[in-house]
Amino acid sequence: MFIICYSGQQNRQWRAAIDFKWIRDNRDAVAANIKNRNSNANLDLVIELYEKYLALQKEAERIRGLRNVVANKMKGKLELSERQTLVEEGKILKEGLTALEEDLNELTDRLQQEGQCIPNITHPDVPIGDEDCSAVRKMVGSPREFSFPIKDHVQLGKELDLFYFDAAAEVSGSKFYYLKNEAVLLEMGLVNWALTEVMKRGFIPLTTPEIVRSTVVEKCGFQPRGQNTQVYSVEDSDLCLIGTAEIPVGGIHMKSILPDSSLPLKYVAYSHCFRTEAGAAGTATRGLYRVHQFSKVEMFIFCRPEESDFYHEELIGIEEDLFASLGLHFKTLDMASWDLGAPAYRKFDVEAWMPGLGRYGEISSASNCRDYQSRRLDIRYRPSTTDASAGNPKRGKGAGPTQFVHTLNATACAVPRMIVCVLENFQQEDGSVVVPEPLRPFMGGLEVISPKFRRV
């Protein structure tokens, strides 16, 4: 999912803590970033609105000052005519301030609407351009050589009796599916394997709500009701189905000040995900590769600002360890600027070789969003201060100003594409599929998925 900015009035019930002063003062850098990310944000309009906002705010403060002067004068002994004059003057000032505040609120809403189209800043090492400009960070393994004609996962699934695509299309529509027999065990095995491995690294397991408020979707940087949105919205409500557990996990500490001692907070969440996949079609997306509903295990970290680059590397390292342990051939990419999406400061993707499809396919990504999401979700922490005389950290109220945390997210296991990888990479000449060793304990010890022979 990517944020899509669109024109039109929105009824916003929340305001992000966007640093408009920084945007104005760093106009050239922000403009270059917008261009590099191929964004349609209107920086000139944002700065124009911000200057008007400052002018209106200054005028409102001037009128409040005059009202205070009038109010103070009325505290003393006055002739009736003088008091009446002050009453009239106060009334005019009050009416003027009310009108000004209405204009200020309307201007603030518009400034927010336009300001939220400005994408995150970009890591200096991110390649500039479209997806084809992405840089390969690492290549793991090599494509398996087959001595027999290979099959794609759709054919394998049919012959091994693992899927119902036609029935799902009748029941729910295209891009839905039933899993059957060992495919069910494979899904459960992948989920429990991923959760177990990530928990070993200190992540707290979660299951999440799968319906969230549209404002939370927006705060995470996605547009639930824009054109070509990937988000399913619930009609006549402010609710949406999640496209990733990143959204409900991001919202778990919304409007909070976290203790410095609690950071980093690391979560690993299991959820179902729902995406419209608007515009997706063709043979490259058939079968399980691109679907409307799927299971996913997602990692999410809240950390101090100076630590987010470190944890970004940790997340991609976990992904690489997981996929390498299954014996997959894959490459890790430093994604180019056009492919980042608005929230990401930097994004690493993992693309695995899928023999049946004859190409690499994305199986995970890891994004550092810095304070882009936390400013919208209002998630802060209060840094510890050190008592110079005692050398002891002080925490709690009054220990120093709060700061926004940084947020990161990464996919540990997107189940359907992992099923594609397992079936296609470990297929055998007799039509069976070998289960990778790390998954076997989570699948009741199953070592091979074999064809079902039927009596004629």
Question: Which residues lie closer than 8 Å to 297 by C-beta, 6 or more apart?
Answer: 191, 194, 195, 198, 268, 269, 270, 411, 412, 413
Annotated binding residue 403: no
Annotated binding residue 301: no
Annotated binding residue 82: no
Contact 194, 271 (CB under 8 A): no
d(CA 218, CA 114): 13
Cβ neighbourhood burial of 8 (10 Å; 0-12, 13-18, 19+): exposed
Annotated binding residue 432: no
Find the catalytic residue in 286, 362, 375, 432: 362
Annotated binding residue 329: no
Find the catalytic residue in 37, 370, 376, 417: 417
Cβ neighbourhood burial of 367 (10 Å; 0-12, 13-18, 19+): buried
Find the catalytic residue in 39, 271, 365, 367: 365
Query: Using the 8-state DSSP alphabet, how is residue 440 labeled?
Result: G
Annotated binding residue 409: yes
Find the catalytic residue in 37, 110, 275, 370: 275
Is 440 among the residues known to form the active site?
A: no
Annotated binding residue 362: yes
Contact 263, 302 (CB under 8 A): yes
Is 24 among the residues known to form the active site?
A: no
Annotated binding residue 292: yes
Find the catalytic residue in 37, 290, 346, 380: 290
Annotated binding residue 314: no
Question: Which residues lie closer than 8 Å to 28 by C-beta, 6 or more apart?
Answer: none
Annotated binding residue 244: yes
Instruction: Report the half-sphere exposure of 215 (CA within 13 A, side-chain side).
Output: 13
Annotated binding residue 12: no
Annotated binding residue 112: no
Annotated binding residue 277: yes
DSSP codes joined into one string, 34-56:
HHHTT----HHHHHHHHHHHHHH
Is 417 among the residues known to form the active site?
A: yes
| Residues in the annotated binding site | 244, 275-277, 291-294, 298, 362-365, 409
Which residues have a catalytic role annotated? 275, 290, 362, 365, 417
| Residues in the annotated binding site for ATP | 275-277, 291-294, 362-365
| Residues in the annotated binding site for L-serine | 244, 275, 298, 409
